[in-house]
Amino acid sequence: MRFSYFIFSFVTLFTLQFSGQNRKVIDLKEDWKFSKGNIQAASQKGFDDTKWETVNVPHDWAIYGPFDKEIDKQTVAIEQNGEKIPTEKTGRTGALPYIGDGWYRKTFKLSDVNENQKVLLTFDGAMSQPKVYVNGKKVGEWNYGYNYFYFDITDVLEEDNVLAVHLSNQGESSRWYPGAGLYRKVQLIVKNKESINHWGTFITTPLVFEDVAKVNVKTNVTGSDLKLVTTVFDADGNQVVSNQTITLFDNQFEQNIPVSNPKLWSPESPYLYTAVLKLYKDEKLIDEVSTKFGIRTMAYEANKGFSLNGKVRKFKGVCLHHDLGPLGAAINRSALRRQLRILKDMGVDAIRSSHNMPSLEQLELCDEMGFMFLAESFDEWAKAKVKNGYHQFFEADVEKDLVNLIHATRNHPCIVMWSSGNEVPDQFGAEGVKRAKRLQDIFHREDPTRPVTVGMDRVAQTMKSGFGALLDVPGLNYRLHLYEEAFEMFPQGFILGSETASTVSSRGVYKFPVEKASMKQYNDFQCSSYDLEYCSWSNVPDDDFVLQDDKPWVIGEFVWTGFDYLGEPTPYDDKWPSRSSYFGINDLAGLPKDRFYLYRSRWNTEDETLHVLPHWNWEGREGETTPVFVYTSYNSAELFVNGKSMGIQKKNNETPQNRYRLMWMDVNYEPGTLKVVAFDDHGNLSEEKEIHTAGTAYKIVLEPEEQKIKANGEDLAFVRVSVVDKNGIPCPTATNQLEFKVSGKGTYHAACNGDATSLELFHLPTMKLFSGKLVVLVQTTKEAGDIKLKVSGKGLKTGHVTIQSVIP
């Protein structure tokens, strides 16, 4: 299938849990037994695991540390970074103990399964190379740790069952922290043998008008002499339309259902319908699945770009790795929701899963909260980036891995594009072109409604080989100097910034003199938050802004990255200690860096932005030049130091920085008050902000991001912790060691301060402030009631906060 451009209409859905007479979905969450090591006979039913650790799934065994430079020390030249000479690298995969074997065992009863039923065992991901046993019998294995997979275990079941899973993580298997263990959910699905197939429904709309949407429903089933009834409900639970069919085409039902006056899904209005599919045999209900779905149209057109629901727009996107900072790779819905809430405030409308298959929870939340999604699949194809990467499985597994990705996720309204790879070495030569076409053809075969891209970093080579020309969407990772040439060479008529910026910074850290610099290193292994430092292959944000604003054929960008992540500590991957990234717009704790407000000033069109940097505590720099930047949605502002005007600055086109920032480069530091006054386009005072020089740290301040959380044993409260002086002024350079204590209906879970050089363990109830802040994570129990957090530190007034845990 060949597309010079894409225009299509589309309805999507995702499957929810449904438990009833004919189908039961059982989460295998609690009371797993876990042990690390290659343990003989652990797959057998009678094996004694009583001395093993008891854990809940999702679980990441490596996040508990310790950090150790020897774990992932390598002598290597990183080709993606343009390196030619091998050097010692540390912290590349987070310096956490993910390498090695692990065993999980879980007992469960299934006493009511009859001969007409079947049982599926499903995994949303297992890191990695899982081998799965039920009652001592091997039921299957899977290599790719990011993929969803399932096995039919009906024939090996007994009344009392033992599930055992062996995982093996090789060293040098990743370029970032991959996590370890059963880090995504595991479920049992009990249903009739004659039933709707797993991932068996696919819904599109060939036509969407203002007054009606034609909803096409294809449902694969197992069985004969069946009837399918599909009923659509609106967001308030009111029935919209119902349709039934008895006509099977090769085990597939097809229905065309009109939805009148459809409400369209978009980031601004993520409206979701619900479809209930009921399968009957001899007028008896034998299966039922409830789904949510969205109706929308989208188009990719030459010289016009990307349109959603008929309106041209550009992706305001970020890339996200899969780890959740102090939680590691273990999926947690409340942590994912928090990330999306922060990004929504920044004005983000799109996310790229980098560089692997996303969790189903992340997609469900993006459907619900309104984020378009670029779903990526692989970081490697047949040619290696790392010694033990996906290349060793590519030829045998790539098709089944892609089919599972597409079938499991193709019905989410958030997904607007697929990516078959990121910066793969296969970009070179005819062999790589053939591989790109092979993968793109699989996507088109399984889902003809969405285009396919690849994040290309070898753009000059892909222009010569035809690699970039065959893609539905040519994605450029950096290489701004080649955008114009690529646009002229490639036939699609548009370019996507599939990965942009890679600016590096440390929250609350500022370096002097203030200047643009590539791969700059300092003795404290931090990066300056003046947001002018970047990597050898990349650039500062403003350079991308120019292309996004001035070139209509550039259809948007996905910034590297929305949040810091574990591993890949460029530009300090040859220094220790440094074990997490500096790329994030938000740090590893989810606290915004200054760069957050630079993007917010452009992307959040609903709220004004006015942010001043740096902080104003510079003892010893009195009289020295200390530039002041303002990131704002206003076009002009006046700066005052202790009441004295430093003049009015206006955005202009002199340089990319002048176009998007207000900068006073000649300010001399003197303690006191820094004040900025912003003006609207008519010169009227619109908003002002002050920052003050703080005195000695006096009191701990706790700010919960939510006042109520669910008493389900999983929900998390994120509490921001800082210190202030006696006048309540924040102390931006504080590094006090703090202690945490949780009482009531909750437990202490973790803490994080966002310092890429910290070797303090997340799960211990103590941590130093970094740049005056950190975040404490408190987890609910299954009992409702008050959760009390107490934070103390030597010489500081203790902080207290109470959070309510409520019945879900």
10 Å CB burial of residue 333 (0-12, 13-18, 19+) is: middle
Q: How many residues does the chain have?
A: 808
Q: Which tens digit of pLDDT belongs to each residue from 449-460?
A: 999 999 999 999
Question: What residues have CB less than 8 Å from 600, skipping those under 6 apart?
Answer: 345, 346, 347, 609, 611, 631, 633
For the chain, what are the domain ranges? 7-15+197-297, 29-62+98-184, 314-603, 618-692, 699-806
User: What is residue 4's predicted lDDT score, i.e. its pLDDT?
Assistant: 36
pLDDT on residue 21: 67
| Helices 394-409 and 360-369, packing angle to 10 deg | 40
Question: How would residue 111 be classed by pLDDT, with cut points 50, 70 and 90?
Answer: confident
* Predicted pLDDT of residue 199: 97
Q: What does the block give as tokens for 674? A: 């820094």
Please state the rounded mean pLDDT for residues 177-203.
97
Task: Tell me what percent of the residues of the chain surpass a pLDDT of 90.
Answer: 93
* HSE of 790, CA atoms in CB hemisphere, 13 A: 7
Would you place residue 77 in the very low, low, confident or very high pLDDT band (cuts 50, 70, 90)? confident
Question: CA-CA distance, 568 to 76, in Å (whole number)?
Answer: 13
499 an active-site residue? yes
In this predicted structure, the answer to whether residue 17 has a pLDDT above a threshold of 60 is no
Helix residue spans in 351-480 (DSSP H):
360-369, 394-409, 429-446, 459-465, 467-470
Confidence of residue 112 (pLDDT cuts 50, 70, 90): confident
pLDDT of residue 203: 87
CATH number of 314-603: 3.20.20.80
Coil/strand/helix, residue 762: coil
Q: Say if strands 495-501 and 473-477 run parallel, antiparallel, or are unpaired.
A: parallel
The fold of 7-15+197-297 is Immunoglobulin-like (2.60.40)
Distance CA(188)–CA(301), nearest Å, equals 43
In whole angstroms, what is the distance from residue 379 CA to residue 420 CA?
A: 9
Q: Above pLDDT 70, what percent of the chain?
A: 97
Q: Which amino acid is at 526?
A: Q
Dihedral sign, CA of 16, 308, 552, 490? positive
- Chosen CATH of 699-806 out of 3.40.50.620, 3.30.70.890, 3.30.565.10, 2.60.40.10: 2.60.40.10
Residue whose tokens read 């008008």: 209
Measured CA to CA, the distance from residue 610 to residue 598 in angstroms comes to: 9
Predicted confidence (pLDDT) at residue 15 exceeds the cutoff of 80: no
The reply to whether 7-15+197-297 and 699-806 are identical in fold is yes
- Specify the pLDDT at position 174: 97
Backbone angles phi, psi at 630, to 5 degrees: -125, 125
**Band (326; pLDDT cuts 50, 70, 90):** very high
Residue in 194, 361, 380, 423 annotated catalytic: 423
Q: Is the pLDDT of residue 86 over 90?
A: no
Q: Given 499, 568, 714, 760, which residue is catalytic?
A: 499
What pLDDT score was predicted for residue 258?
98
Distance of CA 10 to the CA centre of its chain: 24
* CATH 2.60.260.20 for the 29-62+98-184 domain, yes or no: no
Looking at domain 618-692, its CATH architecture is Sandwich (2.60)
> Catalytic: 53?
no
Q: Which tens digits make up the pLDDT trace of 721-735?
A: 999 999 999 999 999
At 14, the pLDDT band (50, 70, 90 cuts) reads: very low
C-beta of residue 397 within 8 angstroms of C-beta of residue 439: no
**Burial of 3 (C-beta count, 10 Å sphere; 0-12/13-18/19+):** middle
Tell the burial category of 553 from Cβ atoms under 10 Å away from its Cβ (0-12, 13-18, 19+).
middle
Q: Which residue has the tokens 């085990």?
A: 251
Q: What is the largest CA-CA distance in the chain?
A: 88
Strands 284-301 and 305-308: antiparallel
d(CA 135, CA 529): 55
Q: How many CA atoms lie within 13 A of 36 on its CB side?
A: 12
Q: Which of 201, 273, 281 is nearest to 240 (CA)?
A: 273
